[in-house]
């Protein structure tokens, strides 16, 4: 697919913190029924770039929720770039102990973060669904592993440790966890088109993390990596 929305933000590409999250969001929300003005949680929002994108391109009211970034710092960074933070609320919070009202969000969107906090089989039912309105949505894009049997290929160890690779699960892993969860309708669990492109956008950057990931990506790791889209609706 073409990423016409994401391409508007090429001047901010230095702000991405991993495989291009704007393209991940654009594909994830390609057929979204959410309306302008919908209240959404951008869970694992990092520095808030995805929240700016969701506000600008879809007209959402966004709660940018992240444990590892500082709200004041994020706001100041956008103000320095003359980017408005209107209709975005920055919240420092752990995904395992969110303090929002029940049935508050029209949707929760987790972009390239869910695998770091959502692998527990009870997490979806207990920690996420209570905050989504009836008939609301959960949109997840998550890094995935493919074409790997018992042992990780040597190319992956050029950039990542075995402990880090444990967070990258297969599509079958996610299907099993989600299919055993109650209170949801499964709309999609499938590999995304954008996977390779998202990774390549990231490793072109010159920060230390992108440079480290470049070693694996440029030596064949992409044949073992993908991104998975998970779209669910609360019953």
Taking CA atoms, 206 is separated from 14, 35, 212, 213, in Å, by: 9, 37, 10, 11
From the list 83, 123, 89, 81, the residue with the least C-alpha distance to 105 is 89
Phi, psi of 226, rounded to the nearest 5 degrees: -155, 180
Q: In what order do the strands lie in the sheet with 88-92?
A: 88-92, 61-66, 39-43, 105-111, 132-145, 225-234, 184-191
For 1-13, how does the pLDDT look when each residue is reduced to its tens digit (9 = 90+)?
A: 999 999 999 999 9
Whole-number pLDDT of residue 149: 83
CA-CA distance, 188 to 229, in Å (whole number)? 7
For 217, residues 6+ apart whose C-beta sits below 8 A from its C-beta are 159, 199, 200, 203
Contacts by residues 146-154 (CB-CB < 8 Å, ≥ 24 positions apart): 146/170, 146/171, 146/191, 146/224, 146/225, 146/226, 147/223, 147/224, 148/224, 153/221, 153/224
Q: What is the pTM of this model?
A: 0.97
From the list 151, 157, 129, 132, the residue with the least C-alpha distance to 221 is 157
**Domain extents in the chain:** 6-146+168-195+225-234
For 153-186, how does the pLDDT look when each residue is reduced to its tens digit (9 = 90+)?
A: 999 999 999 999 999 999 999 999 999 999 999 9
First to last CA, the chain: 30
- Only one residue has tokens 């073409």, namely 2
For 183-224, how does the pLDDT look when each residue is reduced to its tens digit (9 = 90+)?
A: 999 999 999 999 999 999 999 999 999 999 999 999 999 999
Confidence of residue 150 (pLDDT cuts 50, 70, 90): confident
Q: Residue 152 corresponds to which tokens in the numbers above?
A: 């990780």
CATH fold for domain 6-146+168-195+225-234: Rossmann fold (3.40.50)
From the list 183, 198, 200, the residue with the least C-alpha distance to 141 is 198
Q: Residue 175 corresponds to which tokens in the numbers above?
A: 């299907």
């Amino acid at each position: 697919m073409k990423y016409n929305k994401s391409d508007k933000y090429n001047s901010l590409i230095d702000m991405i913190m991993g495989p291009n999250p704007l393209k991940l969001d654009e594909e994830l929300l390609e057929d979204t029924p959410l309306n302008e003005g919908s209240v959404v949680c951008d869970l694992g929002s990092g520095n808030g770039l995805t929240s700016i994108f969701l506000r600008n391109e879809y007209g959402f009211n966004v709660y940018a929720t992240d444990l590892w970034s500082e709200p004041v710092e994020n706001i100041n960074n956008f103000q320095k770039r003359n980017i408005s933070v209107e209709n975005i609320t920055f919240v420092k919070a752990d995904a395992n102990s969110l303090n929002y009202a029940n049935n508050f969000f029209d949707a929760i969107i987790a972009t390239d973060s869910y695998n770091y906090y959502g692998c527990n089989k009870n997490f979806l039912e207990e920690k996420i669904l209570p905050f989504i309105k009836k008939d609301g949505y959960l949109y997840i894009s998550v890094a995935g592993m493919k074409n790997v049997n018992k042992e990780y290929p040597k190319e992956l160890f050029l950039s990542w440790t075995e402990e880090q690779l444990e967070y990258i699960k297969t599509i079958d892993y996610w299907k099993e966890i989600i299919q055993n969860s109650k209170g949801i309708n499964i709309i999609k669990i499938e590999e995304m088109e954008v996977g390779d492109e998202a990774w390549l956008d990231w490793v072109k950057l010159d920060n230390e993390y992108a440079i480290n990931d470049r070693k694996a990506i440029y030596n064949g790791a992409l044949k073992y990596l993908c991104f998975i889209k998970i779209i669910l609706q609360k019953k």
